[in-house]
């Protein structure tokens, strides 16, 4: 199994979210969206940490499956009670009804390229794999800091996105006549092998935009007892290019195992 | 607005309590600022209800939260089809459950969060009056749904439709229970099984039925379909349930189009995977896409959720996105019946109808407005009511506020209740922006061509 390569991320201060100028600029491309989930928040200090260069791959995750990771309570104990409320490990099966990611058609997921990011996993599986790998999930703030850096890039690979970029990427159509607005289109119909697209973040991290949406450790108050919500950063491969900014976030229930939901690993420094 | 909420005995504040917190039906926290006996005054958005009183405070010191069962209410609009009995139905000594139902109940009571909700439901006279199949349906739904759906089902079990408990609203025809039963047994196949979860869909359908204010279009040009979806859930919950069960279980529902032809309303394939319209529910994505596709007549092609346009067999775009005037009429016909759907362009006639609709609760309307201040672009909203010089409408953006320059967040529009998407506009402004409206009957008995 290939092991994830980690990029050192220095300490710094991040103002999470998109400021008004950024939101207005993105609304040129996505006028239907208000980016409410990415509203600006107060500046926060981020400690130095390390982040895996790419999302965890199918090949890497297979090692966990082969090792019996789904049945090893060592990796699940901290979250077992929460997981039991939503069906326990019995619900975490492949399409072959064996323990593993939902998107795998075969028990070992060898129906697709090993270098594709693993997807169709819940937050619980991401956490268990992180423990198995002697790592953890990044927080949403850490993820955004790694994507945007001290220069506070709007996108992991750039601070700007012009109409020309969007048109060249084939993600803009001829406009919606009735609505009189441009309409962005989705970027890629399928997942891409990790690291294949060299959109490098300020700290050398790859795939922070537009491959899998990535689970983080950050929780959100669900306003209902027992409703476990976690933040996903980034956006899935089908999302339009302007959605792939460094502050992209969504909130889903921790047991949700949708195609396009993946994760990467973090390690604290020192 | 402030609303007096009567609390059941189990939720009454302890002596000396001066305030209470409550979770509203859209999941946000409201504060009860005046507790007297078994009542508290809560400041709520229009259309919102109290989902759960979760704690009481006395002199700023939080006291132990009371146990469930929760209080649930529904919108206070006089035209709301569903209304929760604020004064809780008296719990009687529960009749013995059939063995299979008792076993299901027993397994659900093990769940730390669903258990108290289920315990409350099985004690309701409404539940006791159901036959074994009906009881099994209710408990199976609470079992298979997620927490949001279980809370919604609990609330719906306390809900009345036209003066009768929702679960018994059909008398012997049991349309509600048939639809709920179909949802309770829902199995997903193919792409639906890969990209969707049963618990997620049940949460969506039950949650939207209980609180239609969560319905929104998010980042899609489906305003007309969304405005009609909201109206269907609000005014015609039985048909909403039936359509949901048919769409999810069989892949298609049906309706009568504006030409009087029965037409399928089927799932659009590319609306099945998750998209970037993140605020919209998965069921909303399926429903709106299906209606956009079924109502489309202007050009060739089928609706694509990915492109938010109509596309031909090769994926090339044809025509535009959105629905034209006659297509909006078509969509309303498909949902509410053909014979009562009327397209109206004359603003004075429309305003007269609107004024009368306050006294005609079985009528609904969606209105197309010139939305942007420069006159380009249209938007369809659900008409709510006229009050003095103000016209109130529900924006299908829902509780997802938009603040883009040129929208009605600028004058003359104003937000009334942001949480539910209710907005208002001065009558003169509304009339100057008026483009057309589609009136329709929401009376389930009003159209012979439409079954509930």
pLDDT in tens, B146-166: 999 999 999 999 998 878 888
CB contact under 8 A, B27 and A259: no
CA B244, chain centre distance (Å): 12
Nearest CA in chain A to B405: A24
Lowest mean pLDDT among A177-186, B121-130, B188-197: A177-186
Query: Does the CB of A95 have a partner CB in chain B at under 8 Å?
Result: yes
CA atoms in the 13 A half-sphere facing the CB of B13: 27
Tell me whether residues A173 and B307 touch, CB distance under 8 A: yes
Residue length, chain A? Answer: 270
* Beta-sheet pairing, A261-262 with A213-221: parallel
Q: Please, where are the H alpha helices in B266-368? A: 282-295, 325-336, 347-357
Q: Which of B219, B281, B327, B369 to mutate to test the interface with A (most CBs of A within 10 A)?
A: B219
Mutate to test the interface with A, among B111, B211, B278, B301 (most CBs of A within 10 A): B278
pLDDT at B372 over 90: no
- What band does B319 get if pLDDT is binned at 50, 70 and 90? low
Using CB atoms, pick whichever of B273, B278, B317 lies closest to residue A259.
B273
What is the ipTM score, two decimals? 0.86
Nearest to A222 by CA among A258, A255, A257, A253: A253
Global pTM reads 0.83
Residues near B119 by beta carbon (within 8 Å), at least 6 away in sequence:
B68, B69, B109
Phi, psi of B108, deg, nearest 5 = -75, -30
Q: Which pLDDT does position B186 carry in this prediction?
A: 97
Whether B147 and A258 lie within 8 Å, measured CB to CB: no
Q: Which residues pair with A268 in a beta bridge?
A: A49
Which among B254, B334, B242 has a CA at the least distance from the CA of B295? B334
Question: So what's the pLDDT on residue A76?
Answer: 97
Judging contacts by C-beta atoms under 8 Å, the chain A residues touching residue B320 are 176-178
Q: Which B residues, 165 through 204, put their C-beta within 8 Å of a C-beta on chain A?
A: 194-195, 197, 199-200
**Per-residue confidence (pLDDT) for residue B443, from 0 to 100:** 74
Q: Which among B146, B317, B372 has CB closest to A253?
A: B146
The torsion angle over the Cα atoms of residues B266, B269, B274 and B278, rounded to 10 degrees, is: -50
Residue A182 has pLDDT above 80, yes or no: no
pLDDT tops 90 at residue A236: no
Answer whether A235 sits within 8 Å of B276, measured CB to CB: yes
Residue B6 has pLDDT above 60, yes or no: no
| Six-digit token string for B176 | 């509600």
Highest mean pLDDT range out of A217-226, B237-246, B294-303?
B237-246
Q: How far is CA B366 from the centre of its chain?
A: 15
Could you tell me which residue, A28 or A269, shows the higher pLDDT?
A269
Which of A93, A102, A224, A247 has the most B C-beta neighbours within 10 Å, making it the best mutation to test the interface with B? A224
Contact yes or no for A235 and B27 at CB 8 A: no
Band (pLDDT 50/70/90 cuts) for residue B424 is confident
Find residues 273-332 of chain B whose CB sits inside 8 Å of chain A. 273-279, 306-309, 317, 320-322, 324
In the sheet with B363-370, reading across from the earlier edge strand, the strands are: B342-344, B434-441, B363-370, B378-387, B390-394, B422-426, B414-417
N-terminal to C-terminal alpha carbon distance within chain A: 26
The answer to whether the CB atoms of B220 and A32 lie below 8 A apart is yes
Count of alpha carbons within 13 Å of B112, Cβ hemisphere only?
10
What tokens appear for A38 in the block?
Answer: 């990415």
Residue B91: pLDDT band by 50, 70, 90 thresholds? low
Rounded CA gap, A225 and B448, in Å? 45
Beta strands in B107-235 (DSSP E): 159-161, 164-165
Q: What pLDDT, on a 0 to 100 scale, did the predictor assign at position B321?
A: 73
Is it the case that residue B405 has pLDDT exceeding 60? no
Inspect the interface and report whether the beta carbons of A32 and B219 lie closer than 8 Å. Answer: yes
Mean pLDDT is lowest, of A94-103, A231-240, B75-84, for B75-84
End-to-end CA separation in angstroms for chain B = 34
Most confident of A137-141, A148-152, B58-62, B271-275: A137-141
Tell me whether B372 touches chain A (CB under 8 Å): yes
> Per the structure block, which two tokens stand in for B389?
């010089």
Mean of pLDDT values over B236-257: 94
Residues B27, A179: C-beta atoms closer than 8 Å = no
């Amino acid at each position: 199994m290939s092991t994830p390569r980690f990029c050192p991320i220095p300490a710094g201060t991040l103002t999470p979210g998109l400021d008004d100028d950024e939101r207005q600029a993105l609304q040129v491309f996505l006028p239907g969206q208000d980016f409410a989930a990415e509203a600006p928040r107060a500046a926060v200090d981020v400690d130095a940490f390390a982040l895996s260069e790419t999302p965890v791959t199918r090949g890497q995750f297979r090692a966990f499956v082969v090792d019996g990771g789904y049945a090893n309570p060592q990796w699940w104990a901290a979250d077992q009670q929460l997981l039991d409320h939503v069906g326990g490990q019995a619900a975490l099966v492949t399409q072959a009804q064996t323990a593993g990611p939902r998107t795998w058609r075969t028990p070992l997921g060898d129906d697709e390229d090993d270098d594709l990011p693993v997807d169709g996993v819940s937050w619980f599986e991401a956490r268990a794999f992180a423990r198995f790998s002697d790592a953890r999930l990044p927080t949403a703030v850490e993820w955004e800091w790694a994507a945007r850096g001290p220069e506070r890039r709007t996108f992991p690979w750039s601070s700007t996105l012009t109409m020309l970029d969007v048109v060249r990427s084939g993600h803009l159509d001829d406009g919606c006549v009735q609505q009189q607005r441009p309409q962005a289109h989705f970027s890629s119909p399928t997942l891409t092998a990790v690291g294949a697209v060299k959109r490098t973040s300020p700290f050398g991290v790859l795939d922070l935009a537009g491959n899998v949406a990535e689970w983080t450790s950050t929780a959100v108050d669900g306003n209902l007892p027992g409703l476990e919500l976690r933040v996903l950063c980034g956006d899935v491969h089908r999302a339009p290019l302007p959605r792939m900014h460094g502050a992209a976030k969504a909130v889903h229930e921790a047991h949700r195992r949708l195609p396009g939901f993946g994760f990467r690993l973090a390690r604290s420094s020192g | 607005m402030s609303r007096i909420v009567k609390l059941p005995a189990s939720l009454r504040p302890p002596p000396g309590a001066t305030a209470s917190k409550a979770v509203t039906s859209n999941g946000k926290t409201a504060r009860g600022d005046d507790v007297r006996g078994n009542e508290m005054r809560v400041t709520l958005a229009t259309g919102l209800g109290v989902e759960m009183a979760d704690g009481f405070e006395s002199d700023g010191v939080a006291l132990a939260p009371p146990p469930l069962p929760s209080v649930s209410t529904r919108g206070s609009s006089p035209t709301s089809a569903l209304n929760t009995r604020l004064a809780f139905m008296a719990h009687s000594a529960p009749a013995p459950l059939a063995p299979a139902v008792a076993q299901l109940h027993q397994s659900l009571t093990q769940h730390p969060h669903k258990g108290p909700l289920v315990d409350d439901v099985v004690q309701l006279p409404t539940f006791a009056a159901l036959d074994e199949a009906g009881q099994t349906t209710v408990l199976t739904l609470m079992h298979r749904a997620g927490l949001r759906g279980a809370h919604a089902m609990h609330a719906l079990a306390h809900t009345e439709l036209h003066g009768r408990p929702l679960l018994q609203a059909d008398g012997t025809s049991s349309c509600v229970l048939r639809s709920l039963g179909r949802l309770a047994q829902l199995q997903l196949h193919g792409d639906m099984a890969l990209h969707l979860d049963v618990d997620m869909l049940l949460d969506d359908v039950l949650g939207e039925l209980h609180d239609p204010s969560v319905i929104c279009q998010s980042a899609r040009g489906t305003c007309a379909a969304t405005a009609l979806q909201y109206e269907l859930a609000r005014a015609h919950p039985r048909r909403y349930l039936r359509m949901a069960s048919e769409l999810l279980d069989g892949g298609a529902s049906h309706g009568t189009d504006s030409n009087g032809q029965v037409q399928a309303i089927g799932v659009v394939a590319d609306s099945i995977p998750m998209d970037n319209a993140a605020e919209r529910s998965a069921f909303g994505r399926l429903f709106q896409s299906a209606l956009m596709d079924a109502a489309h007549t202007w050009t060739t092609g089928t609706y694509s959720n990915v492109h938010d346009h109509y596309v031909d067999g090769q994926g090339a775009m044809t025509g535009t996105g959105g629905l034209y005037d006659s297509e909006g009429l078509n969509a309303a016909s498909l949902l509410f019946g053909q014979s009562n759907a009327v397209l109206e362009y004359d603003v004075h006639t429309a305003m007269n109808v609107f004024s009368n609709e306050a006294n005609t609760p079985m009528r609904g309307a969606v209105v197309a407005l010139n939305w942007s201040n420069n006159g380009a672009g249209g938007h369809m909203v659900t008409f709510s009511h006229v009050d003095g010089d103000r016209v109130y409408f529900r924006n299908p953006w829902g509780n997802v506020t938009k603040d883009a320059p040129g929208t009605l967040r600028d004058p003359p529009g104003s937000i009334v209740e942001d949480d539910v998407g209710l907005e208002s506009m001065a009558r003169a402004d509304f009339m100057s922006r008026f483009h057309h409206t589609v009136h329709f009957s929401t009376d389930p008995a009003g159209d012979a061509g439409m079954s509930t």
